[in-house]
Structure 1
Amino acid sequence: MGGDVGGDVGGHAARAPVADVVGDVWRREAPHVLAALGRRSGDLADCEDAAQEALADAAVQWPRDGVPANPRGWLVRVASRRLVDAQRSDAARPARERRAETDRTSARRADGATWSDRAGDQDDSLQVLLLCSHPVLSRTSAVALTLRAVAGLSTEQIAAGLLVPRSTTAQRISRAKASLRTAGVRFGPIPPEELAPRLHAVRHVVHLVLTTGSSLPAGPTVLDADLTGEALRLAERLHRALPRDPETTGLLALALLTAARAPGRVVAGRLVPLAEQDRSTWDRVAVDRAVSLLEEALPHGPVGTFQLQAAIAAVHATAPAFEDTDWPQVLALYRMLVEVDPHPASRLGAAVALAEVEGAEAGLAAVEPLVAARPHDHRPLAVRAHLRSRLGHPGAAEDFRRAAALTDSVPEQRYLHAQADALS
Structure 2
Amino acid sequence: MPATAATEDLLRRLAPQVLGALVRRYGHFDAAEDAVQEALLAAARQWDADGDPAGGAGEVSEAGGAGGAGGSGGRPQNPLGWLIRVASRRLTDILRAEEARRRREERVAASAPRDELLAPPPGESRAPSKDDTLTLLFLCCHPVLGHEARTALTLRAVGGLTTAEIARAYLVPEATMAQRVSRAKRRIKEAGARFVPPGERERAERLGDVLHVLYLIFNEGYTATAGSSLQRHELAGEAIRLTRALRALLPANGEVTGLLALMLLTDARRAARSRPDGSLVPLDEQDRTLWDRGAVTEGLALVTEALSHKPVGSYQLQAAIAAVHDEAASAQDTDWPQILALYGLLERVAPGPVVTLNHAVAAAMVHGPRVGLSMLAALEDEPAMERHHRLGAVRAHLLERAGDREAARAAYSAAAELTLSLPERRYLLARAARLG
The residue correspondences of 1:237-316 to structure 2 (distance < 5 A) are 237-267=245-275, 268-316=277-325
Distance 1:393 1:20 in 2: 43
Distance 1:21 1:262 in 2: 19
Q: Report the equivalent of 2:339.
A: 330
Contact 2:24 2:132 in 1 (8 A): no
The percent identity for this pair of structures is 49
Amino acid at match of 1:280: T
More moved, 291-300 vs 28-37:
28-37
Q: Secondary structure at the match of 1:62?
A: coil
Distance 1:21 1:375 in 2: 37
Q: Secondary structure at the match of 1:223?
A: coil
Q: Secondary structure at the match of 1:266?
A: coil
Distance 1:169 1:323 in 2: 43
Gap change, CA 1:391 and 1:243, over 3 Å in 2: same
Q: Secondary structure at the match of 1:271?
A: coil
The residue correspondences of 1:134-145 to structure 2 (distance < 5 A) are 134-137=142-145, 142=150, 145=153
Gap change, CA 1:147 and 1:351, over 3 Å in 2: closer
Q: Report the equivalent of 2:416.
A: 404
Amino acid at match of 2:133: S
Larger RCO (alpha carbons 8 Å, 6+ apart)? 1
Gap change, CA 1:261 and 1:83, over 3 Å in 2: same
Q: Deviations over 1:366-390 (max 9, x none)?
A: 2232245445433233223222222
Distance 1:408 1:310 in 2: 27
Contact 1:379 1:403 in 2 (8 A): yes
Distance 2:408 2:136 in 1: 49
Q: Report the equivalent of 2:237.
A: 229
Amino acid at match of 2:292: D
Amino acid at match of 1:391: A
Establish whether residue 318 from structure 1 lines up as the match of residue 327 from structure 2.
Answer: yes
Q: Report the equivalent of 2:378.
A: 369
Q: Report the equivalent of 1:419.
A: 431
Contact 1:368 1:384 in 2 (8 A): no
Amino acid at match of 1:266: S
| Displacement after TM superposition at 1:162 (Å) | 4.8
Q: Secondary structure at the match of 2:59?
A: helix
CA-based RMSD: 3.8
Gap change, CA 1:371 and 1:81, over 3 Å in 2: closer
TM-score of the aligned structures, taking structure 2 as reference length? 0.73
The residue correspondences of 1:100-115 to structure 2 (distance < 5 A) are none
| Displacement after TM superposition at 1:297 (Å) | 1.3
Gap change, CA 1:174 and 1:326, over 3 Å in 2: same
| Displacement after TM superposition at 1:338 (Å) | 0.6
Establish whether residue 390 from structure 1 lines up as the match of residue 401 from structure 2.
Answer: yes
Q: Secondary structure at the match of 1:300?
A: coil
Distance 2:4 2:416 in 1: 41
More moved, 268-277 vs 199-208:
268-277
Of 59, 62, 69, the match for 1:62: 59
| Displacement after TM superposition at 1:325 (Å) | 0.5
Q: Deviations over 1:93-132 (max 9, x none)?
A: 67789xxxxxxxxxxxxxxxxxxxxxxx972221111012
Gap change, CA 1:422 and 1:190, over 3 Å in 2: same
TM-score of the aligned structures, taking structure 1 as reference length? 0.74
Establish whether residue 158 from structure 1 lines up as the match of residue 187 from structure 2.
Answer: no
Q: Secondary structure at the match of 1:216?
A: coil
Q: Report the equivalent of 2:118.
A: none
Gap change, CA 1:23 and 1:409, over 3 Å in 2: closer
Distance 1:322 1:49 in 2: 48
Gap change, CA 1:27 and 1:275, over 3 Å in 2: closer
| Displacement after TM superposition at 1:175 (Å) | 4.0
Q: Deviations over 1:247-278 (max 9, x none)?
A: 11111112222221122222123222211111
Gap change, CA 1:329 and 1:182, over 3 Å in 2: same
| Displacement after TM superposition at 1:215 (Å) | 2.5
Amino acid at match of 1:251: L
Establish whether residue 380 from structure 1 lines up as the match of residue 380 from structure 2.
Answer: no
In terms of fraction of residues, the more helix-rich structure is: 1
Gap change, CA 1:237 and 1:168, over 3 Å in 2: farther
Structure 2: 5+ residue stretches without partners: 48-57, 62-70, 107-128
Distance 1:361 1:57 in 2: 56
Contact 1:161 1:226 in 2 (8 A): no
Of 351, 354, 364, the match for 1:342: 351
Amino acid at match of 1:381: G
Structure 1: 5+ residue stretches without partners: 1-17, 98-120
Distance 1:409 1:79 in 2: 33
Distance 1:408 1:20 in 2: 21
Of 108, 126, 140, the match for 2:134: 126
Distance 2:286 2:83 in 1: 45
| Displacement after TM superposition at 1:330 (Å) | 0.6
Distance 1:367 1:167 in 2: 32
